[in-house]
Amino acid sequence: MVALTSFIDVASDSHFPLQNLPFGVFKPDAQTAPRIGVAIGDLVLDLQVIAEHGLLTGPELRDHKIVFAQSSLNAFLALGQSAWREARTTVMQLLCADEATLRDNKKLRAQALHRQDQVSMLLPVTVRGYTDFYSSKEHATNLGKMFRGSDNALMPNWLHMPIGYDGRASSIVVSGTDFARPCGQIMPPNADNPIFSASKRLDAELEVGFIVGSNSKLGEPISTQAAPQHIFGVVLLNDWSARDIQKWEYQPLGPFLGKNFCTSISPWVVTLDALEPFRVSGPKQQPQPLPYLQCEQAWNFNLQLQMLLKTATMTQPDTVATTNFRQVYWNFCQQVAHHTINGCNLRTGDIFASGTVSGDQPGSYGSFIELCWGGKQPLTLSNGETRTFLEDGDSVTITGWCQGDNYRIGFGEVTGTVLPALSK
């Protein structure tokens, strides 16, 4: 990455240097309509203001400035990859230290730049569809050992295709949205009949989500080579899970009420272009996938991930898991290819989730069911409290970044707090 410097002061450990420029949706204040912005350091650049001042005038954007005065990124994303790149390149130039247009215009800077801690971040996209995959071999193996034993940890199809299920798009929320503990049917140990109860085994899942930008046509599969053209960017994602509800209901069709009550995502969408310097090869796939799933290019990312837990009595959170996205077995290109091989179409705003990202050591497990090994090994926190699964008042935060040379491409964070159940 070429050394870049902004006229805006950006700390070396900031998640949002000039090399990043993630897109999001925000409200400057309670009275002002939502609009699209870009994060730079501790600030947000208001693209509606920039567009109104005629500074987004490239061939892909000159007739579409209205897309930046929207309550979601969808209209902007629908313009396609050339428009995404034009917008990012133009903003990068405007924010460079040697570019006077914005730097020397005090009035325009006052209108266009807002402090991040003084704005409200909104859900970045109108989510059309949501698919959650199961792409970490370590995570799948750990759960398989708990449920079926070491000899049958991975199901026979797992090494041949990305396993996934279609989730509930309507319950995807932006970071900072708290939620009530879910209720449902639970089968107690050694019981003959289920009971209705609030979940007692509530979990978090450290995941990465990919935002679809460009539509595809119904009936037309997308190859692994073409998949990146349809993905705008990446968010952090927490797919909260009620393990006891899930255990009773998942056979024969898979997750339903145990998963669909809440999924949290980070507000800033980091573009694939920003992540380009951090692309790495994933694990060697053996056996070799079928031809439609073979991916010649490296499409994993050297993305450091952390999950933190803060209980109601703690002043600072504890880091409970540290892992890296580079070891995920099935990459997003393979997920897109598999998802569309039967003719299923993509729509702007769709989200593909990686599934829980886990490493091969206990401290790298991306869910509490792994960290406490099914409730058998409680975690002891710094204040002496213990946890197997989440309790009311617990807050979980996921954060992540790619570390460059004196800069990092960060995602900010996704946080949520568990509230008491609304019914028992």
Report the pLDDT value the prediction gives residue 250, as an integer from 0 to 100. 87
Per-residue confidence band for 3, with pLDDT thresholds at 50, 70 and 90: low
Catalytic residue among 114, 139, 338, 339: 139
Q: Is residue 347 part of a domain?
A: yes
Same domain, 114 and 168: no
Of 136, 126, 139, which is closest to residue 76 (Cα–Cα)? 126
Rg (CA), the chain: 22
Same domain, 40 and 176: no
Tens digit of pLDDT for each residue in 168-186? 999 999 999 999 999 999 9
Of 133, 111, 98, which is closest to residue 18 (Cα–Cα)? 98
Whole-prediction pTM = 0.96
Q: Is residue 102 part of a domain?
A: yes
Same domain, 259 and 391: yes
Q: Which of 122, 154, 182 is the last residue of a domain?
A: 122
User: How does the average pLDDT of the chain come out, rounded?
Assistant: 96
How long is the chain? 424
Same domain, 412 and 385: yes
Same domain, 368 and 269: yes
When divided into structural domains, the chain yields a total of 2
Report the pLDDT value the prediction gives residue 253, as an integer from 0 to 100. 83
Q: Is residue 9 part of a domain?
A: no
Same domain, 91 and 154: no
Same domain, 205 and 163: yes
Tens digit of pLDDT for each residue in 7-19? 999 999 999 999 9
Same domain, 363 and 409: yes
Q: Compute CA 28 distance to the chain's CA centroid, rounded to the nearest angstrom.
A: 24
Same domain, 212 and 172: yes
Residue 1 has pLDDT above 50, yes or no: no
Report the pLDDT value the prediction gives residue 423, as an integer from 0 to 100. 74
Q: Which of 71, 97, 122 is the last residue of a domain?
A: 122
Q: What is the CATH number of the domain that holds 43?
A: 2.30.30.230
Same domain, 413 and 322: yes
Tens digit of pLDDT for each residue in 342-362? 999 999 999 999 999 999 999
Q: Is residue 188 part of a domain?
A: yes
Same domain, 138 and 284: yes
Q: What is the CATH number of the domain that holds 228?
A: 3.90.850.10
Number of neighbouring beta carbons within 10 Å of residue 391 = 14
Per-residue confidence band for 389, with pLDDT thresholds at 50, 70 and 90: very high
- Is 230 among the residues known to form the active site? no
Domain containing 293 equals 130-419
For 298-337, what is the HEC assignment?
Answer: CCEECCEEEEEEECCCCCCCEEEEEEEHHHCCCCHHHHHH
Q: Is residue 11 part of a domain?
A: no
8 A C-beta contact, residue 368 and residue 203:
yes
The residue with tokens 């991040």 is: 116
Q: Which of 122, 153, 168 is the last residue of a domain?
A: 122
Same domain, 367 and 259: yes
Q: Is residue 7 part of a domain?
A: no
Per-residue confidence band for 4, with pLDDT thresholds at 50, 70 and 90: confident
